[in-house]
Amino acid sequence: MKNPNGYGTVSIIDRKSRRRKPYRVQVFVDWTDEGKPIKKTIGYARTRAEGKQMLARYHDELFDLDLVGVSFEYLFNLWYKYKEKAGMAENTLKLYKNYYKHYKHLENKAFEDITSRDLQDIVDNANCTSEYCGKIINMYNQMYEYAKGINIKLKNKASLLVILPKKVESDKHKPFTDEEIEKLWNNRNDVVDEILVDIYTGVRPGELLVISEVHEDYFVTGLKTESGKNRVVPLNDKIKDIFHDLINNRRFERYSSQDSLYQIWKRELKELDMSNHTPYDCRHTFATLMARVKADEHSIKLIMGHRISDLTKRVYTHKLIEELTREVNKI
């Protein structure tokens, strides 16, 4: 059946061409002064039938003409700017950039051409927990919802994904012994310095990747819970210079995700014959050391981001920061 005048055309570019999508799909836009039609290409198709489907979708206003065929990278940047303007927390924006690295090989591919297989491969090959894989895919889902909002209507390719449980470390954490801590001090390198910073600050390893403020005596970071977000972490004098050297050399920026940090730290610990420890043991060690010196329990909760019932006690005045620093320097 013939399409109505002005509906659009599907034409083959070159019959001898080996293009993957040899059919050009165009729609009528306007007339020239000479009365000739002005056409705009809305995309390319593998077959004539596929091209006709694109025309039908266009006339049903299922996608924006200017956004047809946009790359994953282009759509991510649009979505990211939207999140920025919406007031998304800086720490969350940093996490989105970490998640994006898992899509790096797809950044030049048209968003609409990304397949369920592409997404499943990301999940299957990512060296991370099933929970973290879920966050990577959740970002795609958010981009998909954003695409719908700007009139790109496509099937959600993530709807059929299977994220299988991956092997995780035991929840039983044990602190580093005094001898092991001394061994770390005696074998310092960049990675060991990062581990020492974690032991003397008590942060979750991933919180070192989302530091939002750096000051002489403390930094601000936080993940996971409301009590843990945007909290002040005082610097123990033992690792203050080490921490600032790591920040100045942008050491934490080399990690693409919490899981990449986790793997590198585990490798370093194995080389030091401490393979019985996990990176999260650093946080448990801090809590143990603070308890040993009978540090103020309320201060420990504030530093580690544990829940406290009196929210007024979480207002970080200059005096409170001094108190937290004094407590942390007991170890």
The tokens describing 13, both together, are 């570019």
Are the C-beta atoms of residues 305 and 231 closer than 8 Å to each other? Answer: yes
CA 168/CA 327 separation, integer angstroms: 33
Can you give the pLDDT at residue 60? 63
Domain boundaries, the chain: 9-60, 72-149, 178-328
Place of tokens 């060296």: 127
**Which one-letter amino acid corresponds to residue 315?**
V
Are the C-beta atoms of residues 294 and 309 closer than 8 Å to each other? Answer: no
Please count the other Cβ atoms lying within 10 Å of the Cβ belonging to residue 110.
Answer: 16
Please say if the pLDDT value at position 312 is more than 50.
Answer: no
- Mean pLDDT for the chain overall: 82
Least Cα distance to 245 among 202, 196, 279, 172 occurs for 196
CA 328/CA 201 separation, integer angstroms: 8
Are the C-beta atoms of residues 239 and 201 closer than 8 Å to each other? Answer: yes
What separation in angstroms does the CA of 112 have from each of 62, 66, 71? Answer: 13, 14, 8
**Greatest extent of the chain over all pairs of C-alpha atoms, in Å:** 89
State pTM to two decimals.
0.51
Least Cα distance to 9 among 42, 31, 57 occurs for 42
Please say if the pLDDT value at position 224 is more than 70.
Answer: no
- pLDDT, tens digit (0-9, with 9 covering 90-100), for 166-217: 554 444 578 999 999 999 999 999 999 999 999 999 999 989 998 999 999 9
Can you give the pLDDT at residue 76? 92
Please say if the pLDDT value at position 285 is more than 90.
Answer: yes
- pLDDT, tens digit (0-9, with 9 covering 90-100), for 60-108: 654 555 566 678 888 898 899 888 888 888 888 888 998 998 999 998 8
Rounded to 10 degrees, what is the CA torsion of 12, 14, 16, 17? -90
Please say if the pLDDT value at position 123 is more than 80.
Answer: yes
Of 44-48, 53-57, 83-87, 247-251, minimum mean pLDDT range? 53-57
Are the C-beta atoms of residues 208 and 194 closer than 8 Å to each other? Answer: yes
Query: What's the alpha-carbon Rg for the chain, to the nearest Å?
Result: 27
CA 325/CA 262 separation, integer angstroms: 27
**Burial grade of 163 (CB within 10 A; 0-12, 13-18, 19 or more):** middle
CA 50/CA 23 separation, integer angstroms: 9
**Counts of helices then strands in the chain (DSSP H, E):** 12, 6
Least Cα distance to 150 among 111, 193, 113, 119 occurs for 111
CA 181/CA 185 separation, integer angstroms: 6
Say which CATH architecture domain 178-328 belongs to. Orthogonal Bundle (1.10)
303: helix, coil or strand? helix
Are the C-beta atoms of residues 146 and 82 closer than 8 Å to each other? Answer: yes
